[in-house]
Amino acid sequence: MNQTNTKQGDSYHRPVMVEEVLSYFQETAGLLVDATYGGGGHASALLQSNPELRVLGIDRDLDAMSRVPVGHGDPRLHLVTANFGDLEKILAREAPNGDLAGALFDLGVSSHQLDVAGRGFSFHSPGPLDMRMGPDATQSADDIVNRWSPGDIATILRDYGEERFAGRIAEAIVKARPIGDTVELASVIANAVPAPARRRKHPARRSFQAIRIAVNGELAALRRGLDAALDALRPGGRAVVISYHSLEDRIVKRRFASGATECTCPPDMPVCGCGTVAELRLLTRGGQRPSPAEIENNPRARSAVLRAVEKVTI
């Protein structure tokens, strides 16, 4: 079933921190890019709550785009299947006057993508070693798991999964080849991890995250997409990003902080020599978290961190 608004149709994806997102765009008029359209939950809530908004919805997943939820036929919603890493090009084509009023990134995968075993994102049910978010991804999980060298696998497990046992897991994966599906991969990983480390969260969680990030080039796309969105924002325009793990959040936090940096000259310099002028104003400090009630209702919200900025008039 399609997600048709924020109150019904939860089966595709229940949007996270909707009230908080709406609050940042209450006064926004003009074009907002929803770079991670997914089930359209945020987009439909934004369109319903603010008649002054038009939404350009982007998702690299054809499945998300083929569902055409609320807003279909709404002249204020325009959908594009693309990778937000190409946002600069997309905006040049879709919003050529460069007058962007808002940008929203709700990162990661949707519940739908996780729940459909055939996409290969989940370690709970057997699925192919795929994990591609969209057809633009140039490799699949199978390429990494069954073909990469142990050294390269260990590197992504460490860099993208912050996995302590990266080396052991990589060796175990290579030894168990060919690995046929996601559950087999999860079990190889679980057996490679020392017993005490298996107790808290699923021992394959970090490795699956790492492989997914590598397959989809997620961090590079985030850096490029965020730069393009912030460049295109008009003065007073706002960007909101919801991240679900520390690697994403670190990129967002640093990009926002660097954009909000004022003159860096020593305080005793009579005149500014560095020329640094803040282009952004931070609207959140330390990142905003979902309420305990939301986390109780929607456990997938528990790792969410929201950061928001406003483009400054220079």
Ligand X SMILES: C[S@@+](CC[C@H](N)C(=O)[O-])C[C@H]1O[C@@H](n2cnc3c(N)ncnc32)[C@H](O)[C@@H]1O
Task: Report the residue number, 190 or 301, with the smaller CB distance to ligand X.
Answer: 301
**Cα–Cα distance, 36 to 84 (Å, whole number):** 8
Shortest gap between Cβ of 286 and ligand X (angstroms)? 22
- The span from the CA of 129 to the CA of 122, in Å, is 10
Question: What CA dihedral angle connects 256, 59, 106 and 85, to 10 degrees?
Answer: -20
203 vs 225, which CB is nearer to ligand X?
A: 225
Q: Say how far apart CA 312 and CA 174 lie, in whole Å.
A: 51
CB closer to ligand X, 64 vs 154: 64
Using rule CB under 6 A, residue 102 touches ligand X: no
Contact mark string toward ligand X, 133..162, x via CB under 6 A? x-----------------------------
> Six-digit token pair at 28?
């926004």
Q: How far is the CB of 218 from ligand X (least distance, A)?
A: 6
Residues 59-88 contacting ligand X, CB under 6 A: 59-61, 64, 83-85
Query: Could you give the CA distance from residue 258 to residue 277 in angstroms, rounded to a whole number?
Result: 10
Q: Is 109 in the site for ligand X (CB under 6 A)?
A: yes
- All residues at 6 or more sequence positions from 6 whose CB lies less than 8 Å from its CB, including other chains: 15, 18, 41, 44, 45
Nearest to ligand X of 25, 84 (CB atom): 84
Phi, psi of 154 (to 5 degrees): -60, -40
User: Binding marks (x or -) toward ligand X, 22..61, rule CB under 6 A?
Assistant: --------------x-xxxxx---------------xxxx
User: CA 71 to CA 46: how far, in whole Å?
Assistant: 11
* H-only helix segments in 72-118: 87-94, 111-115
d(CA 37, CA 239): 15
Q: Decide: is 249 part of the binding site for ligand X (CB under 6 A).
A: no
Find the binding residues for ligand X in span 118-137 (CB under 6 A).
Answer: 133
Residue nearer to ligand X on the CB measure, 58 or 252:
58
Residue nearest to ligand X (CB): 38
Quick one: 33 or 185, whose CB is closer to ligand X?
A: 33
Cβ distance to ligand X smaller for residue 58 or 309: 58
What phi-psi label fits residue 9: left (phi over 0), alpha (psi between -120 and 50 degrees) or beta?
A: left
**Binder to ligand X among 55, 90, 106, 249 (CB under 6 A)?**
106
Asked if 31 and 56 count as a contact pair (C-beta separation under 8 A), the reply is yes
In this structure, the number of other CB atoms found within 10 A of the CB of residue 60 comes to: 24
- In this complex, which beta carbon is closest to ligand X, that of residue 59 or of residue 279? 59
Minimal distance in Å, beta carbon 136 to ligand X?
A: 8
Taking CB under 6 A as the rule, which mask of x and - marks residues 5-24 in contact with ligand X?
A: --------x-x---------
Give the total of residues touching ligand X (CB under 6 A): 23
Q: Which residue has the tokens 């490799």?
A: 139
Question: Given strand 233-243, what is the order of strands in its sheet?
Answer: 77-81, 53-59, 30-34, 100-106, 233-243, 305-311, 280-282
Query: Interface residues with ligand X (CB under 6 A)?
Result: 3, 13, 15, 36, 38-42, 58-61, 64, 83-85, 106, 108-110, 133, 221
